[in-house]
Amino acid sequence: MDAERIINALKNGNVPPDGVGEICVGREREIEEFDSILEKVKDGAAITRFLNGEFGSGKSFFLKLLEERALSDNFVVAKVTLSRDVPFNKFEVVYRNIVASLRCKTGVSLEHIIEKWITQLRMMSLRETTDPYQQERIVIENISSDLNEVRKHSTTFAAAIENYYKLSARGDQETAKYAMGWLSGEKNIPFTIKRQFGVKGDIDRENAFKYLEALSSFLRALKYSGLIILIDEAEHIMTLHTKKLRDMAYDYMRYIYDECSIGRFQNTLFIFAGTPEFFEDPKLGVPSYTALNERIEDAIKTEFRDLRKPIIKLDGFRRENLQELSERLISMHEEVYGWEATPVRESLDGIISRHEANAELTGYISPRNFVKSFISVLDIVHQNPELRSEAEILDLFEEKEIEFEEDEDWV
């Protein structure tokens, strides 16, 4: 864990690149539920879940935490943030971004995953024989065997992987790169080149789900625990210009939910994260598309939490959460900068009370806002030792109203 990188990322309002488990508080029940879900996915289940939370509530942060836990359990993870360039009504674009963001615990990219697999097969062949011809035969036979399940979903996808290896083995790296590009959803590859690695056509809107299923099957064949697909800022669907485009996006979401329910995407977990407006707006949000809304809306309206339902709500922090988080941040800051943050520690009750007072106006304590301002206070007090009294520190800690942009969903 790089404590300084974590501190700097948090102060800038970003999710740390790693080590988020060190500062995750108040999500114990959610973590327990998703650990249970990961076990089911590992056993072959296909599941769809939705995260509902205000801007700054912890959605992106929680997705990062799930990513870290999934990677440590040998899953492959893809993270896609919806935007103008990645709209959910164009699933072929979403597919390209899923493949582009693939990550396993040993590295990043589909090419890394395939090359690691091929290296393992080569090492196995070396243990079986010293004859180069026989070694090559063993590798090719094992590649073909490992792709048997993939062929049930797409013979073309399997052929592209097989030919990627054969092209690489004979030194045709240029055409092999085209094969990898096609597997990743690239378009505009000349027909004459596609013919060299055994495919026709492109990965497009009509077949993207088939190839995603083939990809998931391929990862299972390579002995990964499964595929986790994280879709952040799902509320971007609400910004699509026409109802037809929004309905198309919601129908893709409905299709994923249904296909997971009947077990089509084995060993696969989809998680969609969005704001309350996304789940509640009757004109632009999920309720505007009845076929999806009826499937995922709460069957019973109650104040009691049910973490097994499709939509899991991330609530704001309580006092005990702020207390625990503050103490972790103080300890981390002291470690990074080699000082004792005694004045801030002694002012902690007042700092938290100030945030609770502000929350009475908004009804919500934003973890992101709290963390950003708290680290700023730690920095200021550390660099200005004359600031010692609680009154002076509380004056620094005045909450300011912040306008959130859609791309600012840190946590």
- The token duo for 349 is 């009750």
Q: Is the confidence at residue 227, as pLDDT, over 50?
A: yes
Residue 77 has pLDDT above 80, yes or no: yes
Mean pLDDT of the chain: 92
What pLDDT score does 409 carry?
A: 44
The predicted pLDDT at position 397 comes to 66
Amino acid 364: pLDDT:
67
Per-residue model confidence as pLDDT tens digits over 247-256: 999 999 999 9
Look at the alpha carbons of 305, 306, 309, 313 in this order and tell me if their dihedral is positive or negative: positive
**What's the 3-state SS for the chain?**
CCHHHHHHHHHCCCCCCCCHHHHCCCCHHHHHHHHHHHHHHHCCCEEEEEEECCCCCCHHHHHHHHHHHHHHCCCEEEEEECCCCCCCCCHHHHHHHHHHCCEECCEECHHHHHHHHHHHHHHHHHHHCCCHHHHHHHHHHHHHHHCHHHHHHCHHHHHHHHHHHHHHHCCCHHHHHHHHHHHCCCCCCCHHHHHHCCCCCCCCCCCHHHHHHHHHHHHHHCCCCCEEEEEECHHHHHHCCCHHHHHHHHHHHHHHHHHHHCCCCCCEEEEEEECHHHHHCCCCCHHHCHHHHHHHCCCCCCCCCCCCCCEEECCCCCHHHHHHHHHHHHHHHHHHHCCCCHHHHHCHHHHHHHHHHHHHHHCCCCHHHHHHHHHHHHHHHHHCCCCCCHHHHHHHCCCCCCCCCHHHCCC
Average the pLDDT over 322-339 and give the result: 95
Residue 401: the pLDDT is 43
| CB-CB neighbours of 174 under 10 Å | 9
Q: Over pLDDT 70: what percentage of the chain?
A: 95
Q: Where in the chain is CATH 3.40.50.300?
A: 27-108+225-313
Sign of CA dihedral 290, 291, 296, 298: positive
| CATH numeric code, 27-108+225-313 | 3.40.50.300
pLDDT of 137 above 90: yes
Predicted confidence band at 411 (pLDDT cuts at 50, 70, 90)? very low
Of 361, 263, 266, 382, the residue nearest 11 (C-alpha) = 382
Q: Which pLDDT does position 360 carry in this prediction? A: 66
Q: Residue 87: pLDDT above 50?
A: yes
| Nearest residue to 213 via CA among 153, 260, 261 | 153
pLDDT of 5 > 90? The answer is: yes
Nearest to 296 by CA among 358, 250, 239: 250
Q: Report pLDDT digits (tens) over 159-213.
A: 999 999 999 999 999 999 999 999 999 998 999 999 999 999 999 999 999 999 9
pLDDT tens column, 367-381:
888 899 899 999 999
Pairing label, strands 46-52, 311-313: parallel
Residues with Cβ within 8 Å of residue 266, at least 6 apart in sequence: 44, 45, 46, 216, 217, 220, 226
Average pLDDT of span 136-163: 96
pLDDT of residue 406 exceeding 60, the answer is no
Token pair, residue 394, equals 């509380």
Q: What pLDDT, in 10s, does the model give residues 345-394?
A: 999 999 998 888 877 655 667 788 889 989 999 999 999 999 989 999 98
Strands 46-52, 268-274: pairing kind: parallel
Residue percentage of the chain with pLDDT more than 90: 78
Per-residue confidence (pLDDT) for residue 362, from 0 to 100: 58
Dig out the tokens for 339 from the structure.
């000082």
The model's pTM is 0.91
Could you read off the pLDDT of 282-324 as tens digits, one per residue? 999 999 999 999 999 988 888 888 999 999 998 878 889 899 9
Q: In sequence order, what are the beta bridge partners of 52?
A: 274, 313
CA separation (Å) from 225 to 11, 77, 161, 267, 281? 35, 10, 20, 7, 36
- Residue 18 tokens, joined: 């790693």
